[in-house]
């Protein structure tokens, strides 16, 4: 999968799946723009995107920051060939303890942020561009103890199903797909799952018997962003060790 000469933007590109995706795109020849909020992680990602790309601090829960981000990309790079919409969070209280504030904290990133990253990137997408969202197996199977997160990823799956078959986008050659990971060992999951027994309980639900790796999800994202998937749009590719089908 050769991305030489391609301009790629990865949201949530400074940690976990996003960082692995940014690194693989850079290794495959792309100029990579990695987006994140944490200053330390942004600094780490600098070396990953190499001297040809850049890291940008942007909170996609803020519509005005998304607008500023895309205006910067337009001014410096002119276009996008690959857009990986990966930024997301999973921390929310138990469903009975939800408040409008905690609801908004998650949905403003996972749903609204993802949506308007896509919307404001549309004028920048080159002919034949590929958009890949990061979903979750939770959007298909549900997620015990975290229904809000599962619901946010169910939204992403439905959004991609419709956007990926939009005739106006397809006339421009723009494909939209989603990769839905199962349990993946990342800083996000290690922060959310501290209990050793819970880790093994989740592992037991995976037919392949192990947690996945960020690199394995990144490989799937690169496949859907590449010409190898040129006849694929509106699709979901699960990277979950068989969990969605068990």
Q: How far is Cα 23 from Cα 124, in angstroms, rounded to an integer?
A: 22
Size of the chain in residues: 246
Name the nearest CA neighbour of 160 among 111, 126, 125.
111
Determine the Cα–Cα distance for residues 104 and 7; give it in Å rounded to an integer: 32
Long-range contacts (CB closer than 8 Å, 24 or more residues apart) made by 70-76: 70/120, 70/121, 70/123, 70/124, 73/9, 73/33, 73/124, 74/123, 74/124
Catalytic residue IDs? 149
Give CA separation, 54 vs 44, 48, 69, 89, 120, in Å: 12, 9, 12, 23, 19
Distance CA 139, CA 180 (A): 8
Specify whether the CB–CB gap between 87 and 12 falls below 8 A: yes
Assess contact for 169 and 118: CB atoms under 8 A: no
């Amino acid at each position: 999968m050769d991305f030489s000469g391609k301009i790629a933007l990865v949201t949530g590109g400074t940690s976990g799946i996003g960082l692995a995706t940014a690194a693989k795109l850079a290794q495959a020849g792309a100029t990579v723009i990695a987006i994140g909020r944490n200053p330390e992680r942004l600094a780490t990602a600098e070396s990953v995107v190499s001297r040809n790309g850049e890291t940008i601090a942007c909170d996609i829960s803020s519509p005005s920051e998304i607008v500023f981000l895309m205006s910067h990309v337009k001014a410096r790079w002119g276009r996008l060939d690959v857009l990986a919409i990966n930024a997301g969070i999973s921390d929310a209280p138990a469903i009975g303890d939800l408040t409008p504030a905690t609801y908004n904290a998650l949905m403003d990133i996972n749903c609204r942020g993802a949506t308007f990253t896509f919307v404001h990137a549309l004028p920048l997408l080159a002919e034949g561009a590929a958009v890949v969202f990061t979903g979750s197996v939770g959007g298909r199977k549900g997620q015990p103890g975290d229904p809000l997160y599962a619901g946010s990823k169910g939204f992403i799956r439905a959004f991609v199903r419709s956007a990926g078959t939009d005739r106006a986008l397809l006339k421009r050659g723009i494909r939209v797909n989603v990769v839905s990971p199962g349990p993946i060992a990342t800083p996000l999951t290690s922060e959310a799952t501290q209990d050793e027994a819970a880790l093994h309980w989740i592992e037991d639900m995976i037919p392949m018997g192990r947690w996945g790796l960020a690199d394995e999800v990144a490989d799937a994202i690169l496949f859907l962003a590449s010409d190898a998937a040129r006849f694929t749009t509106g699709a979901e590719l699960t990277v979950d060790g068989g969990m969605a089908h068990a």
